[in-house]
Structure formats: C-alpha cells, structure tokens
C-alpha cells in the first residue's frame, strides 16, 4: 500500500513578547481532515527564524518555566550585534538551535499520539512582534 502525503500551512500571530502558541488543536483538526483513521507521521515545521516547536505540558507552569529558562540563556540585551554593526535580534535568532524548528509525531488511528498532558507549541523569542507560518504535513 502506498502512503499519501498531505501538507498545509497555518498562520500564527505571535505578538510582541516571547510566547508559546498551542498548535495541538490545529494539528488535530488537520489530521481529522486528512488522516481518515490511518496511522502515519505528522511533521510540524516553522520557517520563522526566531521560533521553534516543543512538545510540553501547558497551563501547569512548564510553559512559563521554559520561557524563563530561555530568557536566562538568551537574555534580551544588546550583547549580540548584527553583521552590519547595529544591535540586533541575535538572541532571538539563536532560539531554533535550542528549540528545534520541527517535530515529527506519531499518528495512530488518525489521531495525534501525545501523552495525557502534552501539547504541541510554537515557541517564539521574537520581542518585536510578528506573524509566523507553521507547516503541517501528514504521511500515512
């Protein structure tokens, strides 16, 4: 049996502070539409240069703890400079090295296979405010 591949993008407005945007419902809705009860893989990818994707418990404090840890590692100050010499968002652009811009997740019976408290979240460090695009791709 040959697998099928379906992909689409989801636009996300991230705001003007580092944040997490829960993508779990968008992922589940996409799978309901395209997986048709099949097993497979969901790949989630962001091409936004100052974002990454995490699988994390949200709402119980872990999301705030992750943002605080990232602020400690990548403080918002002027210690990093763009190549043209001016202050730049260098810390924001290093986020994907710590929180990868992709995640591949199992799909079983057409549904996302996550732990009880896990969510798929877009993590962004961009303090300038922006919109990001996330690509969802199902192979099953």
List Cα–Cα distances, 96 to 24, 31, 48, 55, 110, in angstroms.
Answer: 20, 25, 9, 14, 29
Question: Mean pLDDT throughout 6-11?
Answer: 95
Segments making up each domain of the chain, as ranges: 5-139
Q: At what angle do helices 62-73 and 90-98 cross, to 10 degrees?
A: 120
Whether domain 5-139 has CATH 3.40.50.300: the reply is no
Cα–Cα distance measured from residue 138 to residue 140, given in angstroms and rounded to the nearest whole number: 6
> In sequence order, what E strands does 17-129 have?
19-22, 40-46, 51-57, 102-108, 111-112, 118-124
Name the percent of the chain lying above pLDDT 70: 81
Write the pLDDT tens digit of every residue in 68-126.
888 888 776 665 555 555 555 556 777 888 899 999 999 999 999 999 899 999 998 76
């Amino acid at each position: 049996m040959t697998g099928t591949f379906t992909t689409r993008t989801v636009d996300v407005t991230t705001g003007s502070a580092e944040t997490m945007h829960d993508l779990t419902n968008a992922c589940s809705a996409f799978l309901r539409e395209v997986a048709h009860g099949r097993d497979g893989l969901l790949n989630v990818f962001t091409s936004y240069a100052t974002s990454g994707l995490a699988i994390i418990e949200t709402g119980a404090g872990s999301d705030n703890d992750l943002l605080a840890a990232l602020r400690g590692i990548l403080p918002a100050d002027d210690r990093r400079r763009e190549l043209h010499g001016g202050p730049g968002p260098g810390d924001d652009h290093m986020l994907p090295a710590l929180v990868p811009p992709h995640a591949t997740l199992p799909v079983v019976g057409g549904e996302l296979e996550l732990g009880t408290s896990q969510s798929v979240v877009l993590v962004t460090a961009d303090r300038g405010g922006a919109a990001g695009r996330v690509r969802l791709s199902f192979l099953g």
